[in-house]
Amino acid sequence: MKRVYLFCDNGMSTSMMAQRMQEVADKNNLPIECKAFSYKKIQDIIEETPLDCILIGPQTKFLYNEINEKYGDKIPVAVIDAADYGMMDAEKVLKKAIVQMKKFKNN
């Protein structure tokens, strides 16, 4: 099971995106778990659960460098595209996460 976790300010605004991404994964029989959290919990979550991809909400993209410096050597880190986020295009966001994981694995 691959874990794609989304992080934003309070974990609220990305909850809908994570839920929709989970629906896409389930519909396509993809072994992926999508959940959303506040970025303030990222350290605790990573210590408890091995993640396969970290997605950052566009409203907190200013955190990208800090999160990528801390975890980017072990886990792919990406910012969700603002247009995809605004349109709640869960399929597109999930596809981009899968591409990130494949690129990371090949490096």
Per-residue model confidence as pLDDT tens digits over 16-66: 999 999 999 999 999 999 999 999 999 999 999 999 999 999 999 999 999
Residue from 93, 81, 86, 104 nearest 24 by CA: 93
Domain total in the chain:
1
Indicate left, alpha or beta for 51 from its phi (over 0: left) and psi (-120 to 50: alpha).
Answer: beta
Where helices occur in 8-75 by DSSP H, the ranges are 13-27, 42-48, 64-71
pLDDT given for residue 106 in this prediction: 81
Taking the complete model, does pTM exceed 0.85, yes or no? Answer: yes
Element spanning 82, H or E: helix 82-86
In the predicted structure, residue 100 carries a pLDDT above the cut 80: yes
Catalytic, out of 8, 75, 80, 101: 8
pLDDT given for residue 105 in this prediction: 84
Question: What CATH number should be reported for the domain holding residue 79?
Answer: 3.40.50.2300
53 belongs to the catalytic site:
no
pLDDT given for residue 12 in this prediction: 76
Structural domain range at position 37:
2-106
First to last CA, the chain: 21
